[in-house]
Amino acid sequence: MTSNYYQCTQNDQILRDARKMADRFVSEEEQFHLGYLPTEQAHPYTRNFSHTVQLDPLAGIRLLQKVDGDLPPVARRTFYSDSYERLVEAFASVVSGKGRLCFSGCGSTGRLAVMLEEMWRQYWEDRAGALPGEAAQHSETDNPFLQKANQCCSVMTGGDRALIRAVENFEDFATFGRRQIAELHFSRGDVLIAITEGGETSSVLGTAEEALDRGGNVFLVFSNPSSLLESRIDRSRKLIKHPDLHVIDLFSGPMALSGSTRMQATTLEMMVVGSAMEEALLTAGEGHKEFDRMGQADRFASLLQSLESQACGEAMAYWAGKECQIYKEGGRVTYLASRFLLDIFCDTSERSPTFMLPPFRPADDESAPVSWAYAKDPRRTSAEAWFSMLRRKPRGLDWSGDDYKAMDAPPYLCKEPPSLGTGEIARYLIGCEHDPSRKEREPYWFLQIVIGDENPDTPWNGDLLRIGSKRSYKGGEEVLLPMSLPDSPIFLWHHLVVKLVLNTVSTATMGILGRIQGNWMVQLDPTNKKLIDRGSRIISQLTGIPYAEACNELHLSMLARDQFLKEGGQTTTSPVIDALERLHGII
């Protein structure tokens, strides 16, 4: 930070405004003070994660994996529950042709919702012998398998544009979620599976409320104790107590990084909801195969144990170390993938809001910073890659100022609606077009990622990461995570292992780079109420000052930063870091 920034923090008007905003947040937004939720708390295993991973990357990775070990017992417990039984039945009803299926989520769970839709579509397109996305191209088809594929959709808060980069504040508005469900013409007999890591995300709760009002069969999946949510959060209590709602509580404890629900919470939600989908597809479809729920839980535990092998640990530590060195020297990393591009794309894009890295840059905006890591399909053009990755056309939001006004949105959204339409999504090149931004600074690394029995794209002479069994490879360097992946009609284990590996490697990399303090994500941009609360708690925890004062210091940093940037200043640190440096110089 420069002296100009500190001058902004001493501006009398900014000091007064910060105090006013902080006092209002402390006194009027108690429903967003969430430090008592387990998903927001510090896990005892990883309190010294940042120090450990900097000294020994493999030891840091072992700490993250130890927290993953909390998950299999929760899966076993859930498989015995009545709510899980109802979930399988709901999937089976759609398999039998009754109603439509929709997943909804925000942020990490929004990405999960899109991935679950892709899994459903993949299963039916494979049954039809169709190419990825072929069902969406033939919506009026007579092919029953392609018809089944088109019975599914997903809702991500902010639309598919939010897959690429975070949409500020949208999660705070239940009306936005309601609107997205209404635009799907959701009706009686349709199934909605609403997924929110903490159980309190307003936009996701809004999707469930709207679906219930329309007579839908609605499930709410989350990772905090339902009793705690009912006792403390009005918006959660109202929905959880709805007589027609099915609750699936996947409480497993704190995350490996405090508040980083993109990790254990979303992993468990993928595993449980994906297992229910797989069970329904196998038992309700042709052949009526048996499904062993406890065997499924055993396979999950075995997958986690495979990742804890010495070979897998060393491969991930090497990968994290190499990425770290490239970033330290100002270089860039580009992942190449085809079949599992969506999984890799999701982990790569969500690093920006998680660790405050430069977000993905549109191809026509050369003034914006280039993202540190990116994901591309080496086989297809960008238009083809978007369609193949999602197995359908991207879905944007084309809401006008009047639309936002009708949803009681803040004045700034009504006056200048954000660009979230399909045309905005098309600005991001994720295909094989020439992209000089990925090579213009050295060192750079192009890493093709293949899973299971996949073959690398040919000709390919670059580096390869393989998760699966070693096969003949004559190109560049090969990084191997040796393991056997169980069969699944929706490739559930492939999706899970990609998520687990990418989550672990990206978190270890950021820890080595110093963007984590202990197990707190200090590089945090407080763009919504939950993050303002979390940022305030981080400052309070690391400095020892009271929450109210920490909230004031955070708002002071936010306002001073905004003013500094308006005056032409540049900074790459978060308001949380700014406050910590200003107060104690502890980072």
* Side-chain half-sphere exposure of 507, counting CA atoms within 13 A: 31
pLDDT confidence of residue 460: 64
Tell me how far apart the terminal alpha carbons of the chain are, to the nearest angstrom.
13
When the pLDDT of each residue in the chain is averaged and rounded to a whole number, the result is 93
pLDDT confidence of residue 470: 72
292 domain residue, yes or no:
no
* Side-chain half-sphere exposure of 305, counting CA atoms within 13 A: 8
pLDDT confidence of residue 563: 84
pLDDT confidence of residue 290: 84
Distances (CA, A) of 245 to 96, 205, 215, 273: 22, 11, 11, 16
- Confidence category of residue 568, pLDDT binned at 50, 70, 90: confident
Residue pLDDT, tens place only, 468-518? 987 766 667 788 999 999 999 999 999 999 999 999 999 999 999 999 999
12 domain residue, yes or no:
yes
554 domain residue, yes or no:
yes
Q: Are residues 508 and 563 in the same domain?
A: no
338 domain residue, yes or no:
yes
Residue pLDDT, tens place only, 289-331? 789 999 999 999 999 999 999 999 999 999 999 999 999 999 9
Average pLDDT over residues 79-91: 97
Q: Are residues 475 and 332 in the same domain?
A: yes
Q: Are residues 454 and 557 in the same domain?
A: no
55 domain residue, yes or no:
no
- Confidence category of residue 543, pLDDT binned at 50, 70, 90: very high
Q: Which pair of tokens denotes residue 90?
A: 């709901």
Q: Report yes or no: 492 and 274 within 8 Å, Cβ to Cβ.
A: yes
pTM for this predicted structure = 0.95
pLDDT confidence of residue 1: 42
Q: Are residues 506 and 524 in the same domain?
A: no
Q: Are residues 541 and 397 in the same domain?
A: no
- Confidence category of residue 458, pLDDT binned at 50, 70, 90: low
Q: Are residues 398 and 462 in the same domain?
A: yes
pLDDT confidence of residue 453: 85
Residue 457: pLDDT over 90: no
Q: Are residues 457 and 549 in the same domain?
A: no
382 domain residue, yes or no:
yes
186 domain residue, yes or no:
no
Cα 320 to Cα 349: distance, rounded to the nearest angstrom: 17
Average pLDDT over residues 7-19: 86
Residue pLDDT, tens place only, 152-182? 999 999 999 999 988 878 999 999 999 999 9
Cα dihedral 513/518/519/521 (nearest 10): -50
Where in the sequence is the domain holding 37, given as residue range(s)?
3-42+520-583
Q: Are residues 430 and 564 in the same domain?
A: no
Residue pLDDT, tens place only, 51-62? 999 999 999 999
Q: Among residues 512, 534, 566, which one ends one of the domains?
A: 512
Q: Are residues 367 and 437 in the same domain?
A: yes
Helix 71-79 to helix 82-95 angle, to the nearest 10 degrees? 70
Tally of structural domains, the chain: 2
Q: Are residues 456 and 559 in the same domain?
A: no
Identity of residue 108: S
Q: Among residues 512, 541, 560, which one ends one of the domains?
A: 512
- Confidence category of residue 2, pLDDT binned at 50, 70, 90: very low
551 domain residue, yes or no:
yes
Q: Are residues 534 and 395 in the same domain?
A: no
pLDDT confidence of residue 263: 95
Q: Are residues 498 and 560 in the same domain?
A: no
pLDDT confidence of residue 124: 96
Q: What percent of the chain has pLDDT over 70?
A: 97
Average pLDDT over residues 350-377: 93
- Interstrand relation of 245-249 and 332-336 (parallel, antiparallel or unpaired): unpaired
Cα 144 to Cα 313: distance, rounded to the nearest angstrom: 44
Q: Among residues 481, 512, 543, which one ends one of the domains?
A: 512
Q: Which domain CATH number covers 326?
A: 3.40.50
